[in-house]
Structure 1
């Protein structure tokens, strides 16, 4: 599978496990990617200018204590994984926690000058028809993440495994991933207004890490629904064995809406489409949604062309900065049972990695 170039940096994959415990897995990941994690922390203006200063104020302490406590209690193994990542990379644990919980902390930072760069945008186009069953996903992120991602193949004690596209210093995966049950996901941020957000709830990074170990679509749904989320998220779940794709929108107070993707192509940017909730009106998402509605969506090539579209100069679907960048594109084909990672504009089809996502039996 090798490595590839992403803006001059190689997207590398670490195979890790089986480990004696989650802490050891975290240490091995942190040690292997210590330079990348340290570099991300140095370059992340959101951490430097907002998260870290806020964490040192008295008013942050009740929020952080509740957030850390609730997530440690619900997901002790993933918490240990983060402890190991901090130890292995030599990055202060607080910094590791702040970047993993950034979405759950930012809404509570006092407004003056805050939230200067909170956007994490992604675009997905999905279909399950007679001739094709595809999920195509642009992974868009803040400029600080350019060149600061890697792939983790985590082998579990039972021999099963997951693969997650991972932001440096974070749990696998806040982006996309799959496991050896033939189950996987891509993720889109969604923006509820502040009074829809519950302080100290479960973090989205922990839920998506948990999804990487789901054994079936029903199990994945239960893992999502059982978590008292703080902010909310949009999950595009796929299962190769049943050739099905679901879009699941979530919000605090256990609100969940499930939409099964069918033969009509379904485009999802960064806004709630079917969960009734008060949300921030994001011009970027609205523009991408409108643009996608008029583009042809009849073939795999059309999907990649759509995700590479730059017709709207202010709000292109494929992003090249200055703040937001499309880091890569993931193409999941349920009939071929493959997940391909495409570097650069997906219209050019420059594939760097191809993974089999067919279900595999436990050894």
Structure 2
């Protein structure tokens, strides 16, 4: 089941308790991640000690504690369990927002890989002609995470909040995690059969006093159905952008892709573009649906007219162009051929540590099969290494009742 590089941690308890356990189990990995990326992270650690940085994080924390206090408890638990300073754990969880604001305050300040070079590539396939219903995804990020990522299987019991007026959700899921970050912003599957994989999107602005991307991504692991997912995205004002790819194991008519971003024109509102991936037998809407498959990268494709994006998205557009050259996706083999491609040496789809962009790598490739209920992880290029190194039976986590 597990490998030396990507261990599986099983934890349980309240939101704080399970996260405290996770902090204890991953203490050395968190410290290794910070040490490996310290030249990059130290600038952000210093920034959040400034008056502006403190105000930015204070607004994010207050909003999180107001809307999702149980996920703030998870951040606290991770810090307490790992004995890593809370301020540093907060930076790791509010990373996209913190580094973007840091850069925007002074355009002369440059952070490596700040505009999409670390972003992921995702393929969604829903085809009747090849009997394929799958999500495949390259998880790309800093090379500092290559040896420190892990799977977590969490069984979380609800707690009382707001003077016993609210209960936190009862949750159970399996998810791939970055050391020092709460689950949610990579890929995962929950007990209700919701499958999701996330792509970073990069607006050229951050909205203060809203929810950091990581918090909303974490909340995805609690959703029970598509209506609840839509309501969550409408009621969770985001500070930054991201893309959701996924679907529900119970519902096999279509897969889902959402582009999300903050709406500057409306207070606490999000821009949301929803696309369904429909097979040849499904009822098709030309304005909002994709037929048979969809590939998503790290730039807005449908909300680009309303969200101002960062300028340097060369990696994302280069991968998009190469994907077009490789043609239509019929099978998982076609998807693996795309995800394993490294034809463009400067901006390959599958990234290795010896490439030109030495700080960005493909941490792993995942294939989630909605028909066989299996989650497969490839630790090396799946085009060259045909057998996954990890196979997880989703029946162990998914309740079909």
How far does the alpha carbon of each residue in 1:40-96 deviate from its partner, in whole angstroms, 9 at most, with x for none? 122223653321010121222221211111112211111111111111111000000
How far apart are 1:33 and its partner, in Å? 1.0
2:132 matched to which residue of 1? Answer: 132
> What secondary structure does 1:186 align onto?
strand
Residue from 192, 202, 206 that aligns with 2:203:
192
Residue from 96, 99, 108 that aligns with 1:103:
96
1:161 matched to which residue of 2? Answer: 172
Question: 1:190·1:233 contact (CA, 8 Å) conserved in 2?
Answer: yes
How far does the alpha carbon of each residue in 1:316-361 deviate from its partner, in whole angstroms, 9 at most, with x for none? 1001130210000011111112221111001122312222335415
Question: 1:190·1:232 contact (CA, 8 Å) conserved in 2?
Answer: yes
1:279 matched to which residue of 2? Answer: 309
Distance 1:33 1:186 in 2: 22
Distance 1:64 1:75 in 2: 15
> What secondary structure does 2:362 align onto?
strand
Residue from 193, 210, 221 that aligns with 1:201:
210
> What secondary structure does 1:4 align onto?
coil
Deviates more, 1:150-159 or 1:235-244: 150-159
1:260 matched to which residue of 2? Answer: 276
Residue from 214, 217, 220 that aligns with 2:229:
220
Deviates more, 1:240-249 or 1:92-101: 240-249
2:364 matched to which residue of 1? Answer: 328
Distance 1:205 1:99 in 2: 9
Q: What is the root-mean-square deviation of aligned Cα atoms in Å?
A: 1.7
Residue from 242, 250, 256 that aligns with 2:260:
250
Residue from 318, 322, 342 that aligns with 2:378:
342
Q: 1:126 to 1:325 in 2, by over 3 A?
A: same
Distance 1:91 1:294 in 2: 46
Q: Structure 1 residue 32 and structure 2 residue 25: aligned? A: yes
Question: 1:310·1:318 contact (CA, 8 Å) conserved in 2?
Answer: yes
How far apart are 1:173 and its partner, in Å? 2.2
1:352 matched to which residue of 2? Answer: 389
Q: 1:52 to 1:283 in 2, by over 3 A?
A: same
Residue from 295, 315, 324 that aligns with 2:347:
315
Distance 1:117 1:301 in 2: 30
* Structure-1-length-normalised TM-score: 0.93
Distance 2:292 2:250 in 1: 21
| Structure 1: 5+ residue stretches without partners | none
* Structure-2-length-normalised TM-score: 0.84
1:117 matched to which residue of 2? Answer: 113
Q: Output aligned runs, 1:71-110, within 5 Å.
A: 71-109=64-102, 110=105
> What secondary structure does 2:66 align onto?
helix
How far apart are 1:221 and its partner, in Å? 2.2
